[in-house]
Amino acid sequence: MDAFWIILTGALVAATCGLLGCFLLLRKMTMVGDAISHAVLPGIVLAYLVAHTRASLPMLIGAAIFGVLTTIIIEILNKKGKLQIDAAIGVAFTWLFAIGVILVSAFADKVDLDQECVLYGEIAYVPLNTWIVNGQNMGPQTVWILSINFVIILLYIILGYRGLQLTSFDPLFAATLGIATSFWHYSLMSAVSLTTVLSFESVGAIMVVAFLVGPPAIAYMLTDNLPKMLLLSVLSGILAAIGGYFLSSWVNGSIAGAMVSCIGLEFIIALLIKKGKEKTSMEDAAHHIREAGFSKHSP
């Protein structure tokens, strides 16, 4: 049963991140997920200190405050300080992450968090923390929270599909159609932040980034069609979650690390498929050209 819950947790994170990641990828904003996942750490630690609980709501508030703070710091460094954007992002998120680690170390005895948990989460402990209603075991809390998040994100993408699609592919055209591009930008950022914070505990910061970037990149390599890309991204994410679980129990290693390694493996396979396809299509094209050439000259 434990295996089922762990795989389900991984699959939920994979599916949610896979959906959102596609839009981040198309908007060339992949590194934003990276920056957010690092920068919200101090907010999460402070929320623990203030609220004395691992409940999701205080964590979300803390993370949201620091998420906004990150964008403000980047904005000030970049616009007011005229620091180039890549350096502004780099300075802002490493600084906030450093403060987060300092807070974790300083309040180690008061905060039920440690440096390792921050980095690779505690997906193995997910089944231990169950939700009990009237003495009835309803399954792990994390699975419930992640499921609700998944439904919210799924609804957001279904309902906002047109807006998201248009603003991702051609923001200028979308603007001429009267679509509020900044609304879609900020709502997508909020959705990414929400997912990042909620997935943080179970899979850790870098794993969220891997699930946000990896499966969409694999899907993007294999198709040009957005619905297909979304589907492929979700499927390859879930496959990596399943494969990662079994890989980790085989080699006796970190579950989250194994899941990410599977993403890497999938990407290499996707690369090979793509190369194979290109080769055959090139040969086909060459063949056609030859045929056409011969038929021209034949009497």
Residue 210 touches other proteins, criterion: CB under 8 A? yes
* Cα 249 from chain centre: 24
259 contacts other proteins (rule: CB under 8 A): yes
Least Å from the CB of residue 258 to other proteins: 5
DSSP, residue by residue, 130-153: EEEETTEEEEEHHHHHHHHHHHHH
Minimum distance of other proteins from residue 211's CB (angstroms):
8
Joined tokens for residue 125 = 């402990």
Q: Which of 7, 46, 234, 263 binds other proteins (CB under 8 A)?
A: 263
Residue given tokens 């999938």 in the structure block: 266
Please report whether residue 10 would count as binding other proteins according to CB under 8 A. Answer: no
Binding mask 147-166 for other proteins (x = CB under 8 A): --------------------
DSSP state of 79: I
Residue 179 Rama label (left phi>0; alpha psi -120 to 50; beta):
beta
Compare residues 21 and 127 and give the one whose CB is closer to other proteins: 21
Q: Which of residues 49-88 bind other proteins (CB under 8 A)?
A: 76-77, 80-84, 86-87
Residue with tokens 């948990």: 117
Nearer to other proteins, 174 or 206 (CB): 206
Question: 163-181 burial by CB neighbour count: b if 16+ within 10 A, else e?
Answer: bbbbbbeebeebeeeebee
Smallest distance from the beta carbon of 59 to other proteins, in angstroms? 20
In whole angstroms, what is the distance from residue 55 CA to residue 57 CA? 6
SS3 of residue 194 by DSSP: helix
Interface with other proteins, residue 9, by CB under 8 A = no
Shortest spacing between CB 49 and other proteins, in angstroms:
16
Residue type present at position 271: L
Q: Pick the closest to residue 105 from 64, 45, 58 (CA basis).
A: 45
Residue 120 Cβ, how far from other proteins at the closest point, in Å? Answer: 5
Instruction: Let me know if 209 is exposed, middle or buried by CB neighbors in 10 A (0-12, 13-18, 19+).
Output: buried
Binding track, positions 92-131, relative to other proteins; x by CB under 8 A = --xx-xxx-xx--xx-x------xx--xx-----------
Instruction: Write down the least CB distance from residue 74 to other proteins, Å.
Output: 12
Residue type, 197: V
Residues in the chain: 299
Minimum CB separation from other proteins for residue 30, in Å? Answer: 4
CB 92 within 8 A of CB 74: yes
Structure tokens belonging to residue 67: 């998420």
Binding mask 19-48 for other proteins (x = CB under 8 A): ------x--xxxx-xx---x----------
Cβ closest to other proteins, residue 113 vs residue 210? 210
Residue 68: CB minimum distance to other proteins, A? 18
Applying CB under 8 A, the residues found at the interface with other proteins are: 25, 28-31, 33-34, 38, 76-77, 80-84, 86-87, 89-91, 94-95, 97-99, 101-102, 105-106, 108, 115-116, 119-120, 206-207, 209-210, 212-214, 216-217, 220-221, 247-248, 251-254, 256-261, 263-264, 267, 271, 274
